[in-house]
Amino acid sequence: MAALTGQIAITGGAGGIGAACARAVRAAGGVPISLDLQANPDCDSHVVDVSDDSAMARALARIGPLSGLVCIAGTNARGRVEDLSWDAWRRVMAVNVRGTMLAMKHARLRDGGAMVLTASVSAHIGCDGYTAYHTSKGAVLGLMRATSGEFAPRGIRVNAVSPGWVDTAFTDRALAELPDGAAIRDSAGAAHILGRMARPAEIADAMVFLLSDRARFITGTELVVDGGFLRKR
């Protein structure tokens, strides 16, 4: 198992992949700290809107020095580009892109630490009706690639994990908006070569690997954890 030390801040750490990541960080020897709109009762938590610059600055200053940062907080909005409201578009970008950037900006990361951003297979494909989400995840990959060079002089690695479909409440909420959402969920496993959606812990394990010294020569890259979704597509 990959070993961790020190404090690891996790945005979106109260549920789904974020809560699984907090458990995985603790199991690997690190100290997980959640930054989310909700508290995670199983670890130190800071209730904060990740898209709020001053609030994130205060929260991360209180937390102090970190050995790692994982940016998981995200949201979605349904809508084609011609009918998507500006407010919906702005909120997705605020959480998924601005929130990730603010966490990276204000995190007091020790030299030699690591950052893991959460992108998605959605950065590589098109899906009608979810323009904002797909665009935001492409932006996260661009942010990862750009900042990996900026942080390299301090020995800080920056990578991204791109999950396929993950069996979480986030996925359930997105499917609930669709008239055929139940049928899509029933067939979701078949979209993956491995025949099922990912479990949150499986995505968290990939994140812990990238945080750890086992990935000490990996930076500026994307780890796709999709059970063969892109290959099958």
Structure tokens at 78: 């349904």
CA angle 206, 25, 153 (to 5 degrees): 70
Q: Is 126 left (phi over 0), alpha (psi -120 to 50) or beta?
A: beta
Name the phi and psi angles at 74, rounded to 5.
-160, 160
Residue-level length of the chain: 233
Catalytic pick among 130, 133, 151, 165? 133
- Nearest-Å Rg of the Cα atoms of the chain is 17
Helices 200-211, 16-27: crossing angle, 10 deg rounding: 50
Cα(196)–Cα(145) distance, integer angstroms? 30
Structure tokens at 159: 């990578």
**99 Cβ neighbours under 8 A, 6+ residues apart:** 11, 50, 51, 56, 71, 73
Name the phi and psi angles at 2, rounded to 5.
-65, 140
Structure tokens at 110: 């020790």
133 is catalytic: yes
Catalytic (active-site) positions? 133
